[in-house]
């Protein structure tokens, strides 16, 4: 069965292959973004800017959980896809179990230390005194669910990297739909308030975990076994190499979210709430880009491991073309309908949240198309083992570029600087991505040249 999958990865037409892998992943990403938006939407119905802003504060913790989950999931998944491409099944099986176990251990550590330092952590992430009760109520439940959430992320990614994105979609989608249904019940029906949104998320994530585990054993994926756990130096190094760019990308997102909240703080809880809502909306659009890029990753990993560099290049450019088409359409729609989109989360037409959010949305829509090349380049460099280049690029858009940009621009231009910061960071990140891709393609050309001369 593994030989059949390997043959499919290296011989099926690239567009058909990527589309088949990307569509379930895109659905999974959209559902994940949708239920993240659902938390923000239903909490906003409490008509309390501080509560809405608190969801944005805890988004930094969610980003950290995702960072550690993707670190283990991409680190093990990248290695698995290369080993399957090279037909080394035993090594791939050992890595699958080891990656899952490591993620849940890291989740447990985050839970313990997060609960011990709950209030200082909330302040460090940008919470104000008026927001603190809401921040603590929401964050505590998210921390409790962190081991399960990280485990789900690992299984989700390992399924994708083995070409079984359909089962990944089932697990993520079921949990997402359940979360959307439970939010109003827990927040209003059971009168749990903002804590109810977090409780609904954790319950739904637990269901996703169970379904993803079922998908692992139901499909032809590599199954887990306690006997296969191996967290020795070699396994940890391989997870680090494959997952560090994801840790940078998501981890720096956690830091940048805190930086945005801290910079927005002087403009009031409404500004923090606006930034939170805009982040969720743009993440929904960006999730399609990530979905296509993740559909590209196993194709890239298998063919790079088999030295089919022609297919690596074809897959890279095809993914960019499709992503560019989508983002151009999405950008136009977001720019035109910025106010109606924001009003879904803020009914008061004169609200400061609505005003700030609409302007910020329009600026970010102008550079959304640049994120396609940045994201696909990052994931290509990551899956082929170019850890330094991938980590640099992963850190740019929401870290190395964004953090100094938002600090400098908000100090110099006030609220306007905060509103344009992400767009400026996107331009800088694109400028860094282009030479990294050109350099990698030149390297592949040099590796194929001797064979062409024979």
- 87-110 burial code (b ≥16 CB/10 A, e <16): eeeebbbbbbbbbbbbbbebbeeb
Q: Is the pLDDT of residue 236 over 50?
A: yes
Count the Cβ atoms, other than its own, within 10 Å of residue 130.
15
156-188, pLDDT tens digit by residue? Answer: 888 877 777 778 778 878 888 888 889 899 998
Q: Is the pLDDT of residue 5 over 70?
A: no
Distance CA(330)–CA(325), nearest Å, equals: 9
Q: Is the pLDDT of residue 452 over 50?
A: no
Average pLDDT in the 83-102 region? 83
Average pLDDT in the 332-345 region? 90
Q: Is the pLDDT of residue 3 over 70?
A: no
More confident: 26 or 35: 26
Q: Is the pLDDT of residue 153 over 80?
A: yes
Confidence label for 22 from pLDDT (cuts 50, 70 and 90): confident
pLDDT for 358 equals 92
Q: Is the pLDDT of residue 1 over 80?
A: no
Distance CA(184)–CA(197), nearest Å, equals: 8
Distance CA(218)–CA(364), nearest Å, equals: 41
String of DSSP letters for 158-180: HHHHTT-HHHHHHHHHHHHHHHH
Confidence label for 4 from pLDDT (cuts 50, 70 and 90): low
pLDDT for 431 equals 95
Count the Cβ atoms, other than its own, within 10 Å of residue 281.
24
Tokens for 125? 């992430």
Q: Is the pLDDT of residue 451 over 70?
A: no
pLDDT for 210 equals 92
pLDDT for 436 equals 94
Running DSSP on this structure, what letter comes out for residue 396? I
Q: Is the pLDDT of residue 52 over 60?
A: yes
pLDDT for 67 equals 85
110-152, pLDDT tens digit by residue? Answer: 999 999 999 999 888 888 888 899 989 999 999 999 999 999 9
Nearest to 158 by CA among 298, 12, 304: 298
Give the burial class of 140: count Cβ atoms within 10 A of its Cβ; 0-12 exposed, 13-18 middle, 19 or more buried: middle
More confident: 351 or 405: 405
Average pLDDT in the 397-419 region? 89
Decide: 56 and 37 in contact? Cβ < 8 Å. no
Backbone torsion region of residue 219, taken as left when φ is above 0, otherwise alpha when ψ lies between -120 and 50, otherwise beta:
beta
pLDDT for 348 equals 56
Average pLDDT in the 237-259 region? 78
More confident: 351 or 308: 308
Nearest to 156 by CA among 298, 288, 17: 298
Average pLDDT in the 251-259 region? 77
Distance CA(262)–CA(131), nearest Å, equals: 13
Distance CA(349)–CA(352), nearest Å, equals: 9
Confidence label for 362 from pLDDT (cuts 50, 70 and 90): very high
Rg from Cα positions in the chain: 21
CA atoms within 13 A on the CB side of 20: 14
Backbone torsion region of residue 228, taken as left when φ is above 0, otherwise alpha when ψ lies between -120 and 50, otherwise beta:
alpha
Distance CA(298)–CA(81), nearest Å, equals: 6
Nearest to 153 by CA among 86, 76, 260, 91: 76
Tokens for 119? 């209030």
Q: Is the pLDDT of residue 328 over 90?
A: yes
Q: What is the largest CA-CA distance in the chain?
A: 74
Q: Rounded to the nearest 5 degrees, what angle is found at the Cα of 262, between the Cα atoms of 256 and 266?
A: 145
Tell me the whole-structure pTM to 2 decimals: 0.71
Count the Cβ atoms, other than its own, within 10 Å of residue 203.
18
Backbone torsion region of residue 163, taken as left when φ is above 0, otherwise alpha when ψ lies between -120 and 50, otherwise beta:
left
């Amino acid at each position: 069965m593994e030989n059949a999958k390997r043959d499919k990865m290296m011989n099926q037409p690239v567009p058909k292959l990527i589309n088949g892998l990307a569509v379930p992943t895109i659905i999974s990403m959209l559902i994940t973004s949708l239920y993240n938006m659902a938390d923000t939407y239903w909490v906003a119905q409490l008509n309390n800017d501080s509560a809405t802003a608190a969801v944005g504060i805890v988004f930094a913790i969610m980003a950290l959980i995702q960072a550690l989950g993707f670190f283990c999931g991409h680190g093990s998944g990248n290695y698995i896809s290369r080993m399957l491409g090279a037909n080394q099944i035993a090594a791939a099986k050992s890595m699958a179990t080891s990656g899952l176990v490591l993620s849940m251990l890291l989740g447990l550590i985050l839970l313990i230390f997060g609960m011990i330092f709950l209030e200082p952590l909330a302040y460090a992430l940008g919470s104000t005194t008026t927001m603190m009760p809401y921040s603590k109520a929401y964050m505590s439940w998210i921390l409790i669910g962190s081991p399960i959430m990280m485990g789900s992320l690992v299984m989700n990614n390992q399924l994708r990297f083995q070409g079984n994105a359909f089962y990944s979609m089932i697990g993520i989608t079921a949990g997402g739909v359940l979360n959307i249904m439970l939010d109003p019940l827990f927040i209003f029906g059971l009168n749990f308030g903002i804590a109810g949104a977090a409780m609904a998320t954790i319950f739904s994530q637990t269901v996703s975990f169970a379904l993803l585990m079922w998908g692992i054993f139901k499909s032809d994926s590599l199954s887990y076994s306690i006997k296969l756990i191996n967290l020795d130096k070699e396994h940890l190094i391989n997870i680090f190499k494959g997952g560090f760019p994801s840790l940078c990308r998501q981890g720096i997102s956690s830091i940048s979210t805190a930086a945005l909240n801290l910079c927005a703080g002087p403009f009031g809880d409404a500004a923090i709430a606006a930034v939170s809502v805009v982040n969720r909306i743009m993440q929904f659009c960006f999730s399609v880009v990530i979905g296509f890029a993740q559909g590209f990753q196993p194709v890239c990993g298998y063919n790079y491991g088999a030295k089919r560099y022609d297919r690596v290049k074809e897959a890279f450019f095809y993914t960019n073309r499709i992503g560019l088409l989508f983002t151009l359409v999405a950008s136009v729609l977001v720019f035109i309908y910025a106010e109606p989109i924001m009003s879904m989360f803020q009914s008061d037409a004169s609200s400061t949240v609505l005003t700030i959010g609409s302007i910020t949305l329009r600026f970010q829509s102008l550079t959304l198309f640049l994120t396609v090349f940045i994201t696909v380049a990052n994931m290509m460099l990551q899956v082929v083992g170019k850890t330094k280049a991938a980590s640099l690029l992963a850190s740019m858009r929401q870290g190395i570029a964004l953090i100094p940009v938002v600090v400098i621009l908000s100090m110099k231009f006030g609220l306007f600087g905060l509103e344009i910061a992400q767009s400026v960071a996107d331009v800088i990140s694109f400028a860094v991505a282009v030479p990294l891709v050109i350099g990698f393609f030149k390297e592949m050309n040099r590796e194929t040249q001797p064979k062409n001369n024979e």
